[in-house]
Structure 1
């Protein structure tokens, strides 16, 4: 199947697993007039990265709910056991999150807080820039990473209907090169070892939203190997965003279950697909949480960062997962 130039062509949306990201991914193009303006209030867009490094756990995101926008970044020092966090808010619609992502620039800028993603499809080189000033609670985080799209995983690109909404997501894992500085600490990223996992969403989420999600990846001589997996309310027959990344392939998964060993926040999670092709255990090392209840709107979210072990059973063979950095998160919200 050839990839469409647009997610929505002549008012008709493409559904299913797509071979790559459409050049233009704008779900609002399926609507006109008042309906389009109302749908914009339901649109939730974000572009984020999970940075995979042996000594530091880190994630960053730029997001726009169209009534409020924000950005967050954290960096966890494994040796010191210290979590450093920054966040900033902005009016809805103010971040730059272009529908033509892979030849565009995402940007979130406030006083003392700047995150930029520069995507350059023709050169196969993307860039993450971070320039965040120190605060009384956290040190400055600054630096630049270059991502090698030519050596990335096969893309995960899914357009699906949800109960009361719809989802579009694009994900891939890229070898990363560069330096981040967290206070006086210097984190050097080696593309032979370290990866950045992209997570883009352009989704019309239902008012009551919940999901469990996780991801990890690791380099091999044949290319990155890893997985993206989620469990959320689904419609029968609609594609899920769960998949294995094996060298040169993005292999669909379905029916993923998340089973924590206990209610303890440090408990391990056993995560499997019904067909057994994903069978891993996630051991958390730390937790980042966001919890707000504003009446009409509320969010109860946490992301765990830690290590995965287990096995991926791909079309061309099995891959042992041993001490691989990744994340696992839970979201329950009224958006």
Structure 2
């Protein structure tokens, strides 16, 4: 059976609209592209007034780039009442964080525009920082880092996951598997070609609770990759990509020493389809307390080793030093 046939038997196609004509959200895991969220069309009990939606609608667009020499991550975030971005570039050869920056912006389109569909473009621009994430490109210009990256056609389907959020309303997230990568990263010390590397992205849009916490793991090659989350979204977005097919995974367990997040993490799923050890090489950290809002965030980057499979009946697929990230995040927003 080929990958397409496997996929059709595993995940239904993405709906044309997350919110139907009757105001009810389409909930579940799907294969295909996000076409927009239209939260204003939600009916009770999920619908809320415009002010509530403005304060609770959180959107972000995140891209990771990995080669043998370098790992980069860039994100644009719209919190409704403010915006922010961050980016970093880590030299995997000598363990040096070559660039690590963040920039706050103004609310709405004054600084930021986060795409509402997989084919859209996200932008952040303030002072000397400009970031643009398109469907198949990433451009970064700031005093610390420059990136010109292009993404090829995805060898595996996109994951669209939608679900209810306790204390909020509805959340939707679009995740890619590994994407062929080309281009260049430029830092103060060196230039890093991206040709032959792998990119992946996360485009999320949800009406979230005032306090939201999660742990996350993501790692991708072109033939194998996974996305895992434990926290506010449960197992809704857990999935593995294998040889062009996409499979849902069960709840994920993260065993980590919070006093030493650079120690190895043990991560597994309850359906016996993934068991990996994550070995961090470095981390991006940020702790902010704005009184009305706060964020405690650490994103270690490193490699995963272990095994994955699409179902308990399939043979275990070895994973050896697959580049990716984990994350431990609490937000009051």
TM-score, with length taken from structure 2: 0.88
1:142 — aligned with what?
Answer: 146
Query: 1:132-171 counterparts in 2 under 5 A?
Result: 132-133=142-143, 140-149=144-153, 151-165=154-168, 166-171=170-175
SS of match in other structure, 1:9: coil
**Residues 26 and 202 in structure 1, CA contact (< 8 A), matched pair in contact too:** no
| SS of equivalent to 2:309 | strand
| Within-5 A mapping of 1:254-269 | 254-260=250-256, 263-269=259-265
Select the residue among 294, 307, 311 that pairs with 1:311: 307
Equivalent pair of 1:212/1:330 in contact (CA under 8 Å): yes
Q: Is 2:15 the counterpart of 1:4?
A: yes
Q: 1:29 to 1:174 in 2, by over 3 A?
A: farther
Report the more deviating stretch, 226-235 or 154-163. Answer: 226-235
Residue 156 of structure 1: how far off its partner (Å): 1.2
Deviation at residue 296 of structure 1 after TM alignment: 2.7
**Match for residue 276 of structure 2?**
280
CA contact (8 A) 1:28 1:40 kept: no
The yes-or-no answer on 1:196 pairing with 2:210 is no
**Structure 1 counterpart of 2:106:** 91
Q: Aligned in 2, Cα 1:262/1:14: closer, same or farther, shift over 3 Å?
A: closer
Q: Which runs of 5+ in 1 are unaligned?
A: 120-125, 134-139
Instruction: For residues 203-240 of structure 1, give each alpha carbon's deviation from its aligned partner in whole angstroms, at most 9, with x where no partner exists.
Output: 11111111000100123xxxx211100111457xxx61
Partner of 1:294: 290
Instruction: Give SS of 1:13's match.
Output: coil
Alignment match of 2:38 (pick from 14, 26, 29): 26
Kindly state the Cα deviation for residue 9 of structure 1 after the two structures are TM-superposed: 2.9
TM-aligned CA deviation for residue 29 of structure 1: 3.4
Q: Distance in 1 between matches of 2:251 and 2:242?
A: 19
The alpha-carbon deviation at position 101 of structure 1 amounts to 3.5
CA contact (8 A) 2:78 2:113 kept: no
C-alpha separation between the residues in 2 aligned to 1:266 and 1:70? 26
Q: Equivalent residue for 1:328?
A: 326
TM-score by length of 1: 0.87
Distance in 2, matches of 1:64 and 1:275, equals 34
1:216 is the counterpart of 2:195: no
**8 Å CA contact retained: 1:243, 1:250:** yes
1:149-189 per-position Cα deviation (integer Å, ceiling 9, x unaligned) = 2x333211101012112321000031111111112411111
Higher percent of residues as strand: 1
Whether 2:69 is the aligned partner of 1:58: answer no
- Choose 16-25 or 173-182, whichever is displaced more: 16-25
Contact 2:159 2:175 (C-alpha < 8 Å) held by counterparts:
yes
Matching residue within 92, 96, 107 for 1:78: 92
Which residues of structure 2 form unaligned runs of 5+?
A: 1-11
CA distance in 1, matches of 2:277, 2:157: 24
Q: Is the 8 A contact 1:26 1:99 kept in 2?
A: no
Q: Distance in 2 between matches of 1:28 and 1:17?
A: 22
Corresponding residue for 2:8? none
User: 1:327 Cα deviation (Å)?
Assistant: 0.3
Contact 1:283/1:307 (<8 A) preserved: yes
The answer on 1:13 being equivalent to 2:25 is yes
Cα distance in 1 for partners of 2:86, 2:211 equals: 22
Separation in structure 2 between the aligned mates of residue 31 and residue 177 of structure 1, nearest angstrom: 44
Alignment partner, residue 134 of structure 2: 118
The alpha carbon displacement at 1:142 in A equals: 1.5
CA RMSD of superposed structures (Å):
2.0
